[in-house]
Structure 1
Amino acid sequence: MTAHMQDRPATARPGTPDRHRTPPEIPCPPRRRQGPSPARGVLIRPLTRRQVDDRMGELGELYAHTSSSEPGIPDPSDRAGSAAFRRRLAGHMRWPGFELLVAEAFRPSGASALTACAYSFPVRGTGPWWQGLDGYLPENLFRAAASGKLFAVADVVVERRVRTQDPTREWNLARRLQKRLLVDHTGALGVTLVDRRDVDTYRALLAWGWRCLPDEGRRASRFAPRRLLVLR
């Protein structure tokens, strides 16, 4: 995010104005210095499967921290959610083409800290389908899967402020992660499934550029437990 630092306020010249002297200047509003851009303030890089294994505990803590309703306050549900995330991630790591990106912010001391992560893998036209995705795909997305152009974006783990502050800006961290996952695959499409009860995530994804398919492109009924979203 952009930081602003305020200078010391300007001071009017001393003295009392009279009819023979010009009045003192009116102090100008304090100037603001522009801090580092959000894009430069955070480094995004991939982790190998080995590195993901080595940092699994750290990734689980990141998930618990970002999903907590009260950041900084321990909650048993945070630990349960963290454990479920680690199990899910460990299973998804086995998919061919799996890629995980992390975002790291650097402290004044020079140490880095994980602030976000996201991962994806290609969905093939044959073999097992991710979370029953085949029950949601229209015919044209089946063709994209068969050609290796369809990628499931399984998790985008970011702090709550990334969901609510400037979600439509290109430098938004979630948007940067999503873009990096697909940028190396020409013509690739991202797909994800969202629980219909998870309204917060659904709205955040829409703000980050994901779209629902038009009615004629939908395969699952509106009573299905999940929604299919597409990112181009």
Structure 2
Amino acid sequence: MTAHTPGRPAFRPGPPAARRPLPQDPSPQPCRPGASPERGELVRPLTRRQIDDRMEELGELYTHTSSSEPGLLGASDADRCTAFRQRLAGHVRRPGFELLVAEAVGSSGARALTACAYGFPLRGAGPWWQGLHEWLPENLFRAAALGRLFAIADIMVERRVRTQDQSREWNLAGRLQRRLLGDHTDALGVTLVDRGDADAYQALLAWGWRCVPAGTRGTALLASRRLLVLR
């Protein structure tokens, strides 16, 4: 994100007799460098055509912000990018799919992609996301049958967003996930996180997600992952 530092206010000193000593601040507060993501980055949705046009850029963002997936350990960035783009291309076709990007606007007006999040509603009558129906507790299975689950499949943000100011209202990941769920007020957000990805798990907890015990059906299929929910 581009830091926006306010310039010094211009002033002209008066004659010596008119000058007064400036009051001293008894407790100066330390200033954090840079602007908050809410001021510095614009969050907006992309249409499916825009996603197609920016697929390469989205793939580069993914390789820059994500850790290696368990099935792709040792894979090159190109291989990881290709796997992500194939996965995203499949998700885009789901009914109700939504994708948001965050962009930093430079001094020239050019926009740089800094973050992305996307998801889709889960419907009991439709295809399930990564075998999730085999792992849901009974109460969430009923919610899915009623169309009240929204899967947030990925949140791609820089490491500073995952580790700094996680609980702030203006945290970029928090803004993205709230915006995705904003049009689904009756829905519960759900996501899966690899058990070996401690950084992602701790960040999700800080952003308001809660871990849910697995259901009894087919839990061994997804034993390497945790199910989290967000209201």
Q: Normalising by structure 2, what TM-score?
A: 0.80
**Corresponding position: 1:188 with 2:187:** yes
In structure 2, the gaps of 5 or more residues are: 10-20, 69-73
| Residue matched to 1:59 | 58
Q: Which has the larger radius of gyration?
A: 1
Q: Does 1:162 align with 2:161?
A: yes
Q: CA deviation at 1:153?
A: 0.5
**Shift of residue 141, structure 1, vs aligned partner:** 1.1
* Counterpart contact for 1:5–1:33, Cα < 8 Å: no
Q: Which amino acid aligns with 1:67?
A: S
Is 2:135–2:222's contact at 8 Å kept on the other side of the alignment?
Answer: no
Task: Return the offset for 1:168.
Answer: 1.1
Report if aligned partners of 1:118, 1:157 keep a CA contact under 8 Å in 2: yes
CA distance in 2, matches of 1:167, 1:191: 19
% of aligned pairs identical? 68
Deviations 1:5-34 (A, max 9, x none): 6969xxxxxxxxxxxxxxx99987799699
Q: Which runs of 5+ in 1 are unaligned?
A: 9-23, 70-74
Q: Using the TM superposition, give the Cα deviation of residue 138 of structure 1 relative to its aligned residue in structure 2, in angstroms.
A: 1.1
CA RMSD of aligned residues (A): 3.1
The aligned residue for residue 14 of structure 2 is none
| Deviations 1:129-187 (CA, angstroms, capped at 9, x unpaired) | 11010122111112221222101110100011100111111110000000000011122
Aligned pair count?
210
Task: Report Cα offsets for 1:113-134 as digits up to 9, x if no partner.
Answer: 1100000001111232110101
- Equivalent residues of 1:116, 1:157 under 8 A apart: yes
Contact kept? 1:105, 1:113, Cα under 8 Å: yes
- Runs of 4+ in structure 1 deviating by more than 4 angstroms, as ranges, are 1-8, 24-36
Cα 1:97/1:35, change in 2 over 3 Å: same
1:45 aligns with 2:44: yes
Compare 135-144 and 220-229 and name the one that shifted more: 220-229
Counterpart of 1:137, as a letter, is L
- TM-score, normalised to structure 1's length? 0.79
Query: Is contact 2:210–2:228 with CA below 8 Å preserved after alignment?
Result: yes
Q: Is the Cα contact below 8 Å between 1:6 and 1:33 reproduced in 2?
A: no
Secondary structure, in 3 states, of the residue corresponding to 1:89?
A: helix
Which residue number corresponds to residue 230 of structure 1? 229
